[in-house]
Chains A and B, each alone.
Chain A
Amino acid sequence: MSTGTITPYRSGQRPGRDDFPHLLWAEWTKFRTVRGWVIAMAAAAVLTALAVVALAGVSNGSQNAGANPAVAIGPGGEAVTDNFYFVYQSLDGNSSITARVASLDTELANAGSPPPHIAVPWAKAGIIIKAGTRPGSAYAAVLATPAHGVRMQYGYTHDTAGLPGAVSAASPRWLRLTRSGDTITGYDSADGRHWAKIGTARLAGLPPTVQAGLFAASPPLLAPACPPGAICPPGSPPGQSFASNSTLVPYTTQATAAFDHVSLRGGWPGGAWRGGQIGFPTGIPLLCTPSPGHFCPKTPAGGFTKSGGTFTLAGSGDIAPYVTDVDPLGTVLKGSLVGLLAVIALGALFITTEYRRGLIRTTFAASPRRGRVLAAKAIVIGSVTFAAGLVGAAAALPIAENKLHSGGWAASVYPVWSLTSGHGLQIVVGTAALLAVAAILALSAGAVLRRSAGAIAAVVVLLIVPLILGAILPQTYADWVLRLTPAAAFGLQQGTPHYSQVTSVCQPINGCYPLAPWEGFAVLSVWAAAALGIAAFLLRRRDA
């Protein structure tokens, strides 16, 4: 049927110009039209929620930290540590207090005579304005520390840095707090003449008469316990001489600080200075074994002396948010591993089924720019997984918290987090983001390996095995595993927040990870980005 003249055919279809939105559209259509995938994704969300709630239901909190007498309840109903030695007077209305910290030294309590010096980075000595002497009442303070310079702290969680450097006779620190209504402003100075503002605290509902003065506190030092049967000489600092992977124990420490140039301005009734311990000092006195003739005091001897214009305070404890050693919420959130396994499988299958069926050729014939196809797939599977994770985590969190409280965990120490702000938002968005990026990592592994089983196994090895290793390896190795592998992102599921200004036991088993939550997430994201890059490179290089 050869004819002489042929009119070449012209396509009647005129597609739009920009093709990336079309790719996204196509990949979304691919995902939603396989009913099994949609069901599996919904199941991932539901199973995540169910597993978290089920774990919360069996969590026993009868020995929880809410029963600890050292835990006070802060202005917002939250658990706080509020233990320190206070030298104070009443203060009326708008006024100010100024003092110079001339020295600050720290030691292990009850460790012998003379007590050996030991570094306590977050020991505190400074001036404070406090709503009252009840532990947990509102306050604002400016203080010196041995290792973190001058700080202004208030409301238990707020911490702002002032002048850097340690206090010594050669470089004392001048501190000032001024009150104006509800507002307290903190200043510091190296010479008492040139002052710098550190920050401002608004303490809502501060009564007209408050207690103000000098304070000293020193938080417990975390060190390995002296193992049973071992000889730990009295006075030797905990640490190197002990087994390195034994349990960390909080040893009681004490700060001794000298203040001078104390001056008061404004509404000071002019009473005498009073000294007293606020709250209970925490920690375990070092190596004190009761024996005939040897008495172990329950608390270190806080106190003060005044000689001329110089006050010398000794105090133990801390003014800080209460950070628990256990993390029941973080533990039950591990129920999301069920959903994680499902989304890893879905992420891999989203491309490996195309290889298995030969469909990848249809895909690449329709869209020859393969890197963009991979990007579209990653965006689609990532978004769908994020949405599913968000729903699952948001549904599970309030129910799980409720069940934990029914199980005996104190609401003051393990609070119900808001889903729309702060720590609760971090948990919900973090869990969703963790699942989404894990799905993208699995997609990339699927594109590289072209096999479902291999890709799923590879991602499980990268993401879940380090979690197990982190729980069983000695701390040093566990920390590195959880810093370098994608499992670092599980820090997003930390149920109890950790604060840089509070030294606490940080182990994965307690829901604490060596990297900050979003840093850990960045590690996972870097892994996923690298895997996507390798996948895109191989897709372009290899025959389809």
Chain B
Amino acid sequence: MEATIEVSGLHKRFGPTLALDGMTFTVAPGQVTGFVGPNGAGKSTTMRVILGLDAPDDGSALIGGQRYQSLRHPLSHVGSLLDAAALQPSRSARNHLLWLAHSQGLGARRVDAVIEQAGLEQAARRKAGGYSLGMRQRLGIAAALLGDPPVLLFDEPFNGMDPEGIVWMRGFLRSLAGEGRAVLVSSHLMAELQDSADHLVVAGRGKVIADTTVAELIAAASGDRVSLRTTARQEAMEALARAGATVAATGRDTLTVSGLLAERIVAVLSGSGVPFSEVSAHRATLEEAYMELTRDVVEFRAVSGATAAGSSPRASSEEVAR
């Protein structure tokens, strides 16, 4: 079976809310695909549809060309972590993994192997109800790995993790992809994916608004802007404006210039006798690129937030105006 996820034309409506509006993308093997977008963009719904938990009104989601429901022992095809809190609090972590293993015809030896893989040896026999969110995420990862599947889906796995856990998780995701698995990781915080995702699917309002590599996304967001450091901020702004550039002050002695190439800026400033110490092509962060991309959908959400039932726009209008 090909280790891919193919999502095509998914539509799904919950009452008055259109949750999925033609969601289409493909997750390739051997890389980590980040699935990002503001809350309510349809990420979790898409994952539930992939796992056969929710039925789409239209469209299809295939794992290696097959519907999830047709997989006989699905955990050896697809491992998933949807909700780390989905545990029976009085059942121990090891017993949680044990029933899940039994449902696939797997035994206790496999359970102990994934407990070790997720770094849960010390806590495995404790009741899951006493776990921190970070430990629950590790337990969820262990559950996803039970069947040693070629395809993995993680919904917000960084939630509740301490910095050490986040570093571990990034390395872990990379190593899973390095083994040739297809890994889909959703997040509403781009920064978490900055150093771990190879490919990005950016969702907004139930559809894909960008499907690209991390490098391309940053390049597109960086545009032709140039950063400039100068002690004579006022003079520099006036000189560059006269030369046709758009100038914005970003700090006490820093400016961002767009509309002029770096060589031209150096020439203009030298010609006007304005001192400057540093000229560099501006490089956007992934976060900035993401904000730029999702600005429209978030603004829409902020305005119509009152009517969007059940949504809690984390990216508020304040954040967008900043």
Contact = CB atoms under 8 A, between A and B. Distances in A.
A384 to B, nearest CB: 15
Contact of A15 (B147, B178, B179): B147
B40 to A, nearest CB: 17
B264 interface: no
30 contacts: A1-B31, A3-B30, A7-B30, A7-B180, A8-B180, A9-B29, A11-B148, A11-B149, A11-B150, A13-B146, A13-B147, A13-B148, A15-B105, A16-B105, A19-B73, A19-B105, A25-B103, A26-B100, A26-B102, A30-B88, A33-B99, A34-B90, A36-B90, A353-B88, A357-B86, A359-B87, A361-B48, A368-B52, A368-B69, A543-B54
Contact of B95 (A15, A19, A29, A358): A29
Interface of A: 1-3, 6-17, 19, 22-23, 25-27, 29-30, 33-36, 353-354, 357-359, 361-369, 543-544
A364 B86 contact: no
A13 B147 CA distance: 6
Contact of A8 (B69, B96, B99, B150): B150
B117 interface: no
Give the secondary structure class of A's interface: loop
A23 B103 contact: yes
Interface of B: 2-3, 28-31, 48, 51-55, 68-69, 71-77, 80, 82-83, 85-92, 95-96, 98-100, 102-106, 110, 143, 146-150, 174, 177-182, 198-199, 213
Nearest to A29: B99
A8 to B, nearest CB: 4
B76 A365 contact: no
Contacts of A367: 74, 103
B102 A34 contact: no
Contacts of B52: 364-365, 368
A38 to B, nearest CB: 11
Contacts of A16: 105
Contacts of A27: 99
A25 B180 contact: no
A359 B86 contact: yes
Nearest to B178: A1
Contacts of B110: 13
Contact of B98 (A15, A29, A359): A29
Contact of A543 (B55, B87, B91, B95): B55
A31 to B, nearest CB: 9
Contact of A13 (B31, B72, B76): B76
Given A358-B83, A364-B53, 8 more contacts: A7-B30, A8-B150, A13-B110, A26-B100, A29-B99, A33-B91, A33-B96, A368-B74
Contacts of B178: 1
Given A19-B73, A368-B69, A9 B180 contact: yes
Nearest to A373: B103
Contacts, number: 142
Contacts of B29: 6, 8-9
Given A366-B75, A368-B52, A359 B30 contact: no
A15 B198 contact: no
A29 B76 contact: no
Contacts of A364: 52-53
A27 B31 CA distance: 35
Nearest to B129: A357
A534 B184 CA distance: 36
A35 B148 CA distance: 30
Nearest to B104: A15
Contacts of B213: 2
A26 B198 contact: no
Contacts of B74: 365-368
Greatest chain B CB density within 10 A among A16, A358, A362 is at: A362
Contacts of B92: 33
Nearest to B145: A13
A358 B55 CA distance: 17
A27 B100 CA distance: 9
A32 to B, nearest CB: 9
Contacts of A23: 103
B220 to A, nearest CB: 17
Contacts of A354: 88
B102 A362 contact: no
Contact of A362 (B69, B73, B143): B143
Contact of B76 (A2, A15, A369): A15
A42 to B, nearest CB: 16
Contacts of B182: 9
8 closest pairs, A vs B, by CB? Answer: A6-B30, A26-B103, A33-B95, A358-B86, A15-B105, A29-B99, A9-B150, A9-B180
Given A365-B74, A543-B54, A2 B198 contact: yes
B116 to A, nearest CB: 15
A277 B178 CA distance: 101
A29 B102 contact: yes
Nearest to B54: A543
B103 A9 contact: no
B53 A543 contact: yes
B159 to A, nearest CB: 14
Contacts of B72: 17, 19
Contacts of B179: 9
Nearest to A354: B88
Contacts of A369: 69
Greatest chain B CB density within 10 A among A7, A19, A29 is at: A29
A7 B182 CA distance: 11
Contact of B103 (A6, A10, A366): A366
B148 A8 contact: no
A8 B3 CA distance: 6
B106 A13 contact: yes
B27 to A, nearest CB: 12
